[in-house]
Amino acid sequence: MEGKEILILAIESSCDETAAAVVKDGRQVLSNVIFSQIDLHTVYGGVVPEIASRKHIEKINQVIEEALLSAGVTLKEIDAVAVTYGPGLVGALLVGVSAAKAISFATGLPLIGVHHIEGHISANFIENKELEPPFVCLVASGGHSHLVIVKDYGEYEIIGRTRDDAAGEAFDKVARAIGLGYPGGPKIDKLSQEGNPDAIHFPRAKVEDNPYDFSFSGLKSAVLNYLNSCEMKGETVNTADVAASFQKAVIDVLVEHSLAAVKEYGYRKFAIAGGVASNSSLRSAFRTECQKRGIAFFHPSPLLCTDNAAMIGSAGYYEYLKGTRHGFDLNAVPNLKLGER
């Protein structure tokens, strides 16, 4: 009944990870190579676009070769090349897009441009073989906080988004303010385990006209004000308590909005995706709350939550099945909208 196996070579370079992967039939990862540039950017306290682009150029061919080698395949066995073409840093995206176009041109393989967020969502298909749309997915990363209804493969409706900072951005900014450095998410995650999440009450913002939208800039300011006022009063700051209390405020909002959407729209399946989805307290909060409500909860393992190419290979496979093909005019689109072609 099944046809031939489909092998996708996937490339991701939208931010500070140079990544390539080979994925079989959308759900089986044959290789997943990630060159992280984090060490290069840490000294600057965040990603420096120019440095990211240059490093991608240096690494991209090596990473692609490694992905093919460790999958034990050659380009002859690959069926299509999928690449992230937006959203992200334009110079960084261009490196992956150019590499994919070059491979496609040289081999005649079909070229498939993939939306980065579609990739994050699809990371859930890799380890949850039984997961199929429709379901609700929270995508929380450094650049995005979206509540998305995954109606079918490659078919999305965004029902909520952030009005200001993304969840991961808030983690990174608060981490910087308490002296933890970049990237803040994993550091706050770790430090929070030693702190009391109820020590300081930070605000949980609601957005007036859409119960599924998020706003994190007020929370970030509240943390900065708290730190300032401690300094003025000459009080020492318990950074673990600040981290834990801040993290709890973010998680409370993400959980409340997400599960309200699951209920309102009548779905029984819920998934999380994006870098923030690797947060240990967030995962356990969702696990508990979904269990209470009888909702099936899905999440990728931490390595597949942060940027990688396996997720692009999964999304690319479903786009391949739908017949999505791009020409050599495929360009990097830094502000690409989900669902746009």
Summarize as ranges the residues that interact with ligand KG4 (CB under 6 A).
Answer: 15, 141-143, 168, 171-172, 183-186, 189, 274-276, 278-279, 306-307
- State how far the Cα of 283 lies from the Cα of 134, in Å rounded to an integer: 21
Q: Give all strands of the β-sheet with 17-24 in edge-to-edge order.
A: 28-36, 17-24, 7-12, 80-86, 111-115
Are 270 and 224 within 8 A, CB to CB?
Answer: no
- Kindly state whether residue 13 participates in binding Zn ion, applying the rule CB under 5 A: no
Cβ proximity to Zn ion, 17 vs 213, nearer residue? 17
With left for phi above 0 and alpha for psi between -120 and 50, is residue 36 left, alpha or beta? beta
| Chosen from ligand KG4, Zn ion, none, partner binding at 165 (C-beta under 5 to 8 Å by type) | none
Asked if 307 interacts with Zn ion (CB under 5 A), we say yes
* Minimum separation from the CB atom of position 60 to Zn ion (A): 17
Which of residues 110 and 143 has its CB atom nearest to ligand KG4 in the complex?
Answer: 143
CB 112 within 8 A of CB 325: yes
37 lies in the site for Zn ion, by CB under 5 A: no
- C-beta closer to Zn ion: residue 175 or 309: 309
User: Tokens standing for 33?
Assistant: 């190579």
State the nearest-atom distance from the C-beta of 120 to Zn ion, in Å: 6
Does position 141 bind Zn ion by CB under 5 A?
yes
Amino acid at 256: E
Asked if 169 interacts with Zn ion (CB under 5 A), we say no
CA distances from 11 to 3, 22, 39, 91, 102 (A): 25, 9, 21, 15, 12
Instruction: Quote the least distance from Cβ 281 to ligand KG4, whole Å.
Output: 8
Return the SS3 of 114: strand
Helices and strands in the chain: count of H runs, count of E runs = 11, 10
Minimum CB separation of residue 338 from ligand KG4 in Å reads: 13
For residue 226, what are its two tokens? 């708290």
Comparing CB distances to ligand KG4, the nearer of 163 and 325 is 163
| Contact status: 53 vs Zn ion (CB under 5 A) | no
By a kind-dependent CB cut-off of 5 to 8 A, residue 185 interacts, out of ligand KG4, Zn ion, none, with: ligand KG4
- SS3 call for 10: strand
Which C-beta is closer to ligand KG4: that of 172 or that of 319? 172
| Cβ distance to Zn ion smaller for residue 119 or 133 | 119
Residue with tokens 């261009």: 94
Residues engaged in binding Zn ion (CB under 5 A): 141, 307
